[in-house]
A and B are shown apart, each in its own frame.
Chain A
Amino acid sequence: MNLRVISANLVVKLLSFYREKTTMFFTFAFPIILILVFGTIFMSQDNVEYRLCVQDLDQTKASAEAVENLEVNGKFKITRVDPAADAVQYVRDSRVNLVLVIPKGLEKSLQRRKLFNDYQATVTISYIYDPSSSSVATKMDILNAVLAGINQEMAGVPPFIKSSSKSILTRKYRFIEFFVPGIIAMSVMTLSLFGTVDSDTELQQKGVIRKLSTTPITRSDWILSNILYQFILALISTVTMLLVSYAVFDVSLHINAWLIAFILLDVFAFVGIGMLLTRYVKEAQSAAAATNAISYPMMFLSGSFFPIELMPGFLQKFARALPLFYVNEGLRAAMVFEDNMTALRYAAIIGVFATVVFILGILATKWEENS
């Protein structure tokens, strides 16, 4: 190992990156854009207010109270539909996904039930809805819960089963705090994988590697300088992402040694995969395709963007076979939950993986053209 050679290589790589302004911009800007977009979408997730159209055919004091009740307990923003309108047509024409219809006779039935204890007196509230809309099911669940509450209250007996909830966390974490570690893991992967494959195939194709093989630089000097280069870029990118997350979303993430450890393991694992790809894929175009084929499943299936529990069972099993899953979850354990044991377990798994692929990558990297 020759430090002079490694530093010379590192300087050339960093200078090339710095002078390639477009690449530099997208390298750092892409994850920040993701954080800003997703962070904004999910920032007010806990304060969602649904729009609800209500057609009150009863037009009485009781029906007006019922609508008010929905507004308060169901967190709905109510739009009142003209009683003379055809509700089905209204859903179609107004492009709304649900109209709740309060039938005529609500107040009368209510009085019969309350004053005369006539248990035969009931009303049927109708949902006119568009099943193709994704938020309809949620709205109907909320409405059913509100209606069940009203029925329970009118029954006049206290409920038998009550529920209480207690979080295992001292503080409820927000989506953005789940999201940022995932984006850090993903962008370090992308940097290392694409950085290694793109630069090595380009240099190989242009014949620069052939020239280098007639100089004293060794394969290990070359690989080590690449690792250092990728690590520096990963650190700059992570710091930028964290600064934006703190500044814009006031996230509460713990910065500790695990962060550095996981970034380093992420870099080793994906530089290793990159070196293996470079060995077997010679053309720049097929290199890009092969890199995408590896990075896309990692990006979308390993839980960088959303918890893998949302996926079907077989995909969850697949996710657990992806190395990025362990970086995602390890980073979350360390940065969100401060769970050192989980972080250690995942670091060990990704550590073993990184060691194996990195050694294979070193063995696969060839300087002499013996073919």
Chain B
Amino acid sequence: MNTETEYAIEVDGLTKRYGDLLAVNDISFTVKKGEVFAFLGPNGAGKTTTVEIIETIRTPTSGKVILLGMDVTKKKRDIVQRIGVLPQGFSSFDRITVRETIQYYSRLFSVHSDIDGLIELVNLRDKANEQYKNLAGGLQQRLGIAIALVNDPEVVFLDEPTTGLDPRARREVWEVLQGLKEKGKTVFLTTHYMEEAELLADRVAIISRGKIIAMGSPRELIADNANYQVLTLQSVDDQVFEIVRKTGFEPSLDDHKNIRVRVEQTDHVLQILNAIKAAGASYLGLDVRKPNLEEVFLKLTGEALQENPADRETK
């Protein structure tokens, strides 16, 4: 029975167990039609397991998942016709060109897709006759997105669409995803890049160790969980860290050896800067800004969201 509701996805009490490992632990959430919903969490948090259950690739241990009004464990055939999927670590046939790959998938769906339109949408016109194995990582992902759209799906699932891409390739993929958003597609995005979620998502669910620990729009999450600002001091003297700590704050060092300090009031910034000046120490630059989802995640879970930087290297 296909019941039309305002929700594209309804997940209720979903649990997935692999032997002793509880990968997804009794999670519930809904995704509205036309919404871009991001599942944000570190590697191994349960994002892919959840999304693959919704995509009908895996079966849940318990709980209920309704996609476009249909139970995912019972209506796989009907569901796959109406969804588009970019799986994690997408790959395709090495020796088949971009155009042939899109044609192949549109034949699988028995639809007459606008092949040129899709190639245009993902900005691969110059590479249309290039074989898959000759495409760079970002271009392969863009082809994956085009394939996910061949059947003009109502819900598009994108599992880690930019993992392994360099910053430029990532931005190019984001442009394509923003185009989907403008087209009004329901998009379910899983990512461990907070800037991706912040930029693209209408709502974000933060998942850690199989549990959803916070959910809302990026702005709501930040307002609710990070009511402070972040002062960053660049190219500091070695002694500055100690000076800040003695002033009564809790400094931390980021990847570039910059000092980051949480401050709740603007006066605190002045207090820290004055202490440094009084001690005769120096810094090259400073930045005061609102916190982002990274900090929200850190506050909620006590662990960093970003994975190993090596993972972000160009493919």
Contacts and interface: CB of A to CB of B under 8 A. Distances in A.
Contacts of B92: 208, 211
Nearest to A16: B95
A32 to B, nearest CB: 24
Nearest to A217: B108
Contacts of A16: 93-96
Interface string A93-121: 00000000000000000000000000000
Interface residues of B, number: 32
A214 B85 contact: yes
A69 interface: no
- Dominant secondary structure at the A interface: helix
B36 to A, nearest CB: 19
Interface in B14-67: 18, 52, 55-59
A344 B150 CA distance: 49
B59 A368 contact: yes
A4 B94 CA distance: 22
A86 interface: no
Contact of A211 (B87, B94, B110, B131): B87
Interface of A: 2, 4-5, 7-9, 11-12, 15-16, 19-20, 206-208, 210-217, 368-371
Given A7-B107, A368-B57, 18 more contacts: A4-B107, A5-B107, A12-B96, A15-B96, A16-B96, A19-B95, A19-B131, A206-B91, A207-B88, A207-B89, A208-B93, A214-B56, A214-B83, A215-B105, A216-B108, A368-B56, A368-B58, A369-B52
Nearest to A368: B57
Contacts of B100: 12, 15
B214 interface: no
A207 B81 CA distance: 20
Contact of A214 (B57, B91, B93): B57
Given A12-B93, A20-B95, A368-B59, A216 B87 contact: no
B288 interface: no
B77 interface: yes
Interface of B: 18, 52, 55-59, 77, 80-81, 83, 85, 87-96, 100, 103-105, 107-110, 131, 147
Residue with the greatest number of chain A CB neighbours at <10 A, chosen from B58, B89, B90, B91: B91
Nearest to B78: A216
B95 to A, nearest CB: 4
8 contacts: A4-B107, A4-B110, A11-B104, A12-B93, A12-B100, A208-B91, A211-B92, A212-B108
A325 to B, nearest CB: 36
A370 B109 contact: no
A365 B59 CA distance: 17
Contacts of B85: 211, 214
A216 B104 contact: no
A214 B90 CA distance: 12
Contact of A207 (B87, B93, B108): B87
A208 B87 CA distance: 9
Contact of B90 (A15, A207, A371): A207
B18 A371 contact: yes
Contact of A8 (B55, B57, B108): B108
